[in-house]
Chains A and B, each alone.
Chain A
Amino acid sequence: MRPVSGFDLVVPETAEEAIAALQTLGPGEAAPLAGGTDLLLDVDEGRLTPRRIVSLRRLPWRTLDWNGDSLTVGSTLPLRSLEDDPQVRVKYPGLYEAVRNVGSVALRHRATLGGNLVRAAPASDLIPILLALDAEVDLVGPQGDRTVPVDRFVLASRRTDLRPGELVRSVRFPEPRPSDFLWQRVRPANDISQVVVAVAFSPSGRRWRVAVGGVSPRPTLLTEAAEALGNGRPNAAAVRRAAESASARAPFVTDRRASEEYRRRLVGTLLERTVARVAGAKVFPA
């Protein structure tokens, strides 16, 4: 038998019990568990040493709700269930593409949107599309409920605005948007992305949203590139300007997965391709 790291697993029945179980210990001593596919790796490798892990499995958050066209995804819904919803594919195509490209099928049976967000990995395949879709995070905690846009929730690599005892209950997507997502990886299947580009067009605001991930510690919205795309279907020159802006302005780092220069070139190319896919979509407003 493998030695296992020492933590107590608690399985609360209600959000209040879960919050209390997290709050009574100091920072870093207690961690919430959704799918666990990322958290348990850090525990195994000693990067995290919680004394208590609080399972969210009994909380009623494995949900997918439509309010008109607005989508609310419960934080513990397995990604595979999100990918399998036929309406998600039509109304939030970029979200569908991003989700179905996370890990493997078996991983997506356990991994969750809430977990991906809270773990805030630099190369998260999901945070860029959440940014491009202006998703909002619904939180519950000792001081009550609050809602924070994803752009303000993700602070840095592995750091979020989550306060002691707080939990992500759901993620909300306000409006369907023509959107798409592309990645570059060393190995296409079940690998961590070197570059992620997510693009969406907001029909209500007639503006583009462009986000990149994997290139720097924090997934980032690129406002200048988005503005370069204009207020509708962009022409080739506008797409070129947006790609150049992204290559020039996005933050890039060199790490073991790719060099800064490689990422810089790739972001421009992937941005052009992603915009072309979105602008060519049938749902795109004329």
Chain B
Amino acid sequence: MTPRPLRLNVNGTAEEIPDVPGPERLLDTLRWRLKLKGTKEGCRTGDCGACTVLVDGRSCLSCLTLAHEVDGSTVTTIEVGAEEVLVARVRAAFDTAGALQCGYCTPGFVMAVAGLLGERGTAAPREELLEGLGGNLCRCTGYAAIVRAVDLLRTEVP
């Protein structure tokens, strides 16, 4: 069976992508068909979080997700413009905190943080936000600055 054209809204643009094979991962559709190379391939086994994107606002491991399984969804990647306010704020916080070393894990971390804040809000308990990043690895071990970036985004509950 040949799947129908894949329909995605990616960073605000409606895409209709023909000839996407059933086994193809969302990661590969983004990087190789749509040329959005900001989303990184790390382990390809769901252990590192480098490939994290948002699907309908929720964090998603694009290496373990068949592209056709999210047909019809809205996909947000690190390339999204400033109109996506939350992602833009997270990017700015990572910038201010200097929360990157080699930078390879950064897109995944930014999307994971944006996803968590979208789900839980900026007033969520600090522990819950940090626990929620347990699926993202930084091989430079630059975690302290990443935690500072998260702290910049948090709003204290009065």
**Cβ contact within 8 Å between A106 and B49:** yes
- Kindly report which residue of chain B lies nearest to residue A4, judged by CB atoms: B23
Residue tally, chain B, CB below 8 Å to A: 33
Given A9-B66, A41-B45, A188-B134, verify A106-B112 contact (CB < 8 Å): yes
Given A8-B1, A36-B66, A36-B69, verify A110-B61 contact (CB < 8 Å): yes
Residues 100-127 of B contacting A (Cβ, < 8 Å): 112, 115-116
**Cβ contact within 8 Å between A106 and B115:** yes
- Kindly report which residue of chain A lies nearest to residue B23, judged by CB atoms: A4
Given A57-B69, A105-B135, verify A5-B23 contact (CB < 8 Å): yes
Q: Does B22 contact A (CB under 8 A)?
A: yes
| A161 → chain B closest CB, angstroms | 27
Bound: A163/B57 CA distance, A: 37
Q: Does A218 contact B (CB under 8 A)?
A: no
> A2: which of B28, B46, B61, B116 is its contact (CB, 8 Å)?
B28
Q: Does B52 contact A (CB under 8 A)?
A: yes
**Cβ contact within 8 Å between B65 and A104:** no
**Cβ contact within 8 Å between B135 and A9:** no
Q: Does B39 contact A (CB under 8 A)?
A: no
| A276 → chain B closest CB, angstroms | 22
Q: Does B154 contact A (CB under 8 A)?
A: no
Interface size for chain A: under 10, 10 to 19, 20 to 34, or 35 or more residues? 20 to 34
- Kindly report which residue of chain B lies nearest to residue A55, judged by CB atoms: B69
**Cβ contact within 8 Å between B28 and A36:** no
Bound: A55/B112 CA distance, A: 26
Contacts of B55 on A, CB cut-off 8 Å? 109
Bound: A105/B112 CA distance, A: 9
Q: Does B3 contact A (CB under 8 A)?
A: yes
Interface set of B (CB-CB < 8 Å, partner A): 1, 3, 21-25, 28, 32, 44-47, 49, 52, 55, 58-61, 64-66, 68-69, 112, 115-116, 131-132, 134-136
Interface set of A (CB-CB < 8 Å, partner B): 1-2, 4-11, 33, 36-37, 40-41, 43-44, 53, 55, 57, 80, 103-107, 109-110, 188-190
A4-B21, A7-B23 known, 15 other contacts, Cβ within 8 Å:
A2-B28, A4-B24, A8-B1, A9-B22, A37-B61, A37-B64, A40-B66, A104-B136, A105-B112, A105-B132, A109-B55, A110-B60, A110-B65, A189-B134, A190-B135
